Amino acid sequence: MLRATQALAHLDLVRPTLLLDAARVRRNIDRMARKAGAAGVRFRPHFKTHQSAAIGEWFRSVGVDAITVSSFDMGRYFQQHGWSDITVAFPLNVREMDAVHQLAAQATLGVLVDSDAAVEVIESHLRAPVNVWIKIDVGARRSGVAWTDPDAVLSLARRLLTTQHAHFVGLLTHAGHSYDAGDRAGVAAIHAESLLRMREVRTRLADAGVAARISIGDTPGCSIADDFGGVDEMRPGNFVFYDLVQADLGACDAADVAIALACPVVGKHPDRNEIVLYGGAVHLSKDALHTGGRTLYGCLARWEGSAWTRPEPRAPLVSLSQEHGVVRLDPEDMDGIGVGDLVTVIPVHSCLTSDLFDEYRVLDGSRIARRQSNQTPLDP
Amino acid sequence: MLRATQALAHLDLVRPTLLLDAARVRRNIDRMARKAGAAGVRFRPHFKTHQSAAIGEWFRSVGVDAITVSSFDMGRYFQQHGWSDITVAFPLNVREMDAVHQLAAQATLGVLVDSDAAVEVIESHLRAPVNVWIKIDVGARRSGVAWTDPDAVLSLARRLLTTQHAHFVGLLTHAGHSYDAGDRAGVAAIHAESLLRMREVRTRLADAGVAARISIGDTPGCSIADDFGGVDEMRPGNFVFYDLVQADLGACDAADVAIALACPVVGKHPDRNEIVLYGGAVHLSKDALHTGGRTLYGCLARWEGSAWTRPEPRAPLVSLSQEHGVVRLDPEDMDGIGVGDLVTVIPVHSCLTSDLFDEYRVLDGSRIARRQSNQTPLDP
């Protein structure tokens, strides 16, 4: 059923609350760790999705000792929670060289560059040992040196090899265009193509006598593919929770999604088969999934006993304002839900939804703290 | 120019930072307060956009003594900062009756109902004096009793009139469909139609001997219209900052938008006339503006001297991921911007962007704190 009022009664919820199914999170972590192990690829998970020291410990318990983050602030948070090998997988923000030096003094730090301008700043300002990756664009057209320009990559690598404190490690990519691949076959094709392109660039460097590791990152590719030939490291992040986008792509089973937003029902409109939730863009983010000719901002979850089973595509969030969400229901589902009930929304994009909260409420009633972006003071 | 590096040098910015132009905010407040005064309409501004005690004082300085909020948590924040007349303009969340009683003990509290179910809870559980409005749907199809069903409104009003502690005040609406009206003429038409519909419902109540005030709310209508005949109260909120959506509608001048996100440039791709910003969905929200056949997530601002002048439609944010933003530029604008520079993004939806931060950085260098949604502990 869609109504979660009884199942959540022990939590005494009065407002939108981010729920976490700990068993699912641990299963998602375990599955990806085993996959990396079987492929002989170093597992350096991205922690930007959960951003929680406590969930980080669940990764440590399966042998993870190196992580990826997307900002120096996030890196500092995890360094303060005992992580000592951290890659900031974001084009180097040259305005943060103080943060580079601070983090490099306390951890093995990796950074990314994709431009002469950033390498120039490293040449002139780097004062602590840092691993440097060159970001490669294998088709996502966001950041990175285009894979079609291996000479530019070689030129950057050569400069890094002669720069004090810089340690050139290799080539890193994020095939983010896999999110637009439509289905599993599309993701698999992009994954295979990305690996070919990365190996091609590496070959060009090897021919010039420059050794380079390869690091890849996207959750769809890492979830679907089994071939990681030539890859030294993988950095998926979203898989820890998954979400509707990943389920829609086939990167996970719908039942793998490990977070949900519990929302009070504040309105019921039988004339249009809609209910109104206390739960809006400030709780879910405004990310949308465009699928099957529809645009949706989440789906209600079906519940059995004390846990949700899966998102119900026939109960989509069809609109979202600052604090309101509107859900369209099958007429037969309307009877079972009333004002004052609780329902749960499976988010479109778990990274953005979870970043809106400073804690997870576990189904057993416990609470797990997390950092949020943009909290002051950011300086130590 | 689009580059704001020199103009912002005094702020020493290293990461995405929410800027506020205080002169613009005060001008926006003053203009709307004068408009309400000229129309003889009570001004009860919505504080959900700024959520700042300090900015609240700017409203107080122009005579505002009653406010609107969208949650009990937000209401408690402003009550603790000296506000004693607060309407929670959101369908009553019957799971929060403790919060109702708590806030009602400390302030003149207004709440909204739009269902028998909510009125039943008020009848059976209300233990402190509360002003109750009936929410009317004049066409937005989100919350409220349909204006086409005045008998249902009368029935709810009659029940409230005989309920202990409840004080039925009147009819409240938010013509949120004005955001889809396309232009000023469309907004004006929806505004005029909304007023007609609200007066029609009030007439039905008056004929039955039930007096009711009328409260309206949307920023587009309140910004564009001059006729508020029959309206007792207005509750716009977004106008305090405005944003690209409002400018696109014609609800404000593009130069009225009073917040902007300062972002470091971390990548430059002349082959596709794009720059990459440190500034993504966790800093701007993922709300999009669909206009002129394009989808955009913000626009860079043009600067003259020490302030930005207006958003530049030819410098749109064309994609947004968790921490990255990609801006497409005119080729002639590419030369003036490099890695390490600062640029500023005018947001699509200022309510959602500002909710992602816990402070505003004023152009003079000062800082203004604000509350964010979803911060624990929420309980007193």
Chain B residues closer than 8 Å to A141 by CB? 272
Q: How far apart are CA A2 and CA A312, in angstroms?
A: 8
* CB contact at 8 A, B55 and B240: yes
Integer CA distances (angstroms), A311 to A167, A260, A325, A352, B186, in order: 46, 10, 16, 18, 38
Q: How far is A356 from chain B (nearest CA, A)?
A: 7
Q: What percent of chain B stands above pLDDT 90? A: 98
What string of H, E and C letters represents the secondary structure of B307-319?
EEEEEEEEEEEEE
Give the one of B92, B268, B271 whose C-beta lies nearest to A115's C-beta.
B268
Q: Where are the domains of chain A?
A: 9-20+258-369, 22-241
Residues of chain A with confidence (pLDDT) below 50: 380
Given pLDDT bands bounded at 50, 70 and 90, which one contains residue B374? confident
Q: How far apart are CA B359 and CA B355, in angstroms?
A: 9
Residues B213-250 as b/e (b if ≥16 CB within 10 A, e otherwise) read bbbbbbbbbbbbbeebeebbbbbbbbbbbbbbbbbbbb
Q: How far apart are CA A190 and CA A208, in angstroms?
A: 27
Task: Tell me, yes or no, if A376 comes closer than 8 A to chain B by beta carbon.
Answer: yes
Q: Which residues contact A52 (CB under 8 A, 6 or more apart)?
A: A360, A368, A369, A370, A371
Angle at B350 between CA B346 and CA B355, to 5 degrees: 125
The CB density around residue A85, as the number of other CB atoms within 10 Å, is 15
First to last CA, chain A: 48
Binary contact (A322, B93; C-beta < 8 A): no
Token readout for A30 is: 């375990």
- DSSP-assigned states of every residue in B282-296: HHH-S--EEETTEEE
Task: Mutation target for B interface from A3, A11, A14: give the one with most B CBs within 10 A.
Answer: A14
CATH topology of domain A22-241: TIM Barrel (3.20.20)
Query: Which pLDDT belongs to residue A287?
Result: 96
Q: How far apart are CA B43 and CA B36, in angstroms?
A: 6
Task: Tell me, yes or no, if B176 comes closer than 8 A to chain A by beta carbon.
Answer: yes
Q: What is the pLDDT of residues B121-172, one digit of tens each?
A: 999 999 999 999 999 999 999 999 999 999 999 999 999 999 999 999 999 9
Chain B from 265 to 284: CB within 8 A of any A CB: 266-268, 271-272, 276, 278, 281-283
At B30 the three-state DSSP class reads helix
Nearest in space to B170 (alpha carbons), one of B99, B230, B95, B116: B230
pTM assigned to the model:
0.97
B378 pLDDT above the threshold of 70: no
Residue owning tokens 């349909």: B146
Q: How far is B180 from chain A (nearest CA, A)?
A: 13
At A144 the three-state DSSP class reads coil
Task: Tell me, yes or no, if B44 comes closer than 8 A to chain A by beta carbon.
Answer: no
Give the one of A176, A268, A373 whose C-beta lies nearest to B282's C-beta.
A373
- CATH 3.10.50.30, applies to B23-241: no
Binary contact (B70, A339; C-beta < 8 A): no
Query: Which pLDDT belongs to residue A373?
Result: 86
Token readout for B193 is: 């139609």
Binary contact (B319, A373; C-beta < 8 A): no
Task: Determine phi and psi for A362, rounding to 5 degrees.
Answer: -80, 150
CATH topology of domain A9-20+258-369: Lyase, Ornithine Decarboxylase; Chain A, domain 1 (2.40.37)
Torsion angle of C-alpha atoms B261, B265, B267, B271, degrees rounded to 10: 80
Binary contact (A271, B114; C-beta < 8 A): no
Angle at A247 between CA A245 and CA A249, to 5 degrees: 70
Query: Which pLDDT belongs to residue A375?
Result: 79
Give the one of B267, B283, B355 whose C-beta lies nearest to A114's C-beta.
B267
Q: What is the pLDDT of residues A323-368, one digit of tens each?
A: 999 999 999 999 999 999 999 999 999 999 999 999 999 999 999 9
At A44 the three-state DSSP class reads coil
Give the one of A98, A118, A266 whose C-beta lies nearest to B91's C-beta.
A266
At A228 the three-state DSSP class reads coil
Binary contact (A278, B13; C-beta < 8 A): no
Q: Please, where are the H alpha helices in A81-174?
A: 97-104, 116-125, 150-161
Nearest in space to B223 (alpha carbons), one of B259, B248, B201: B248
Mean pLDDT for B68-80 is 97
Sign of the torsion angle spanned by Cα atoms B344, B346, B348, B351: positive
Is the bond leading into B129 cis (omega within 30 degrees of zero)?
no
B373 pLDDT above the threshold of 90: no
Q: How far apart are CA B261 and CA B268, in angstroms?
A: 19
Q: What is the pLDDT of residues B304-324, one digit of tens each?
A: 999 999 999 999 999 999 999
Task: Tell me, yes or no, if A318 comes closer than 8 A to chain B by beta carbon.
Answer: no
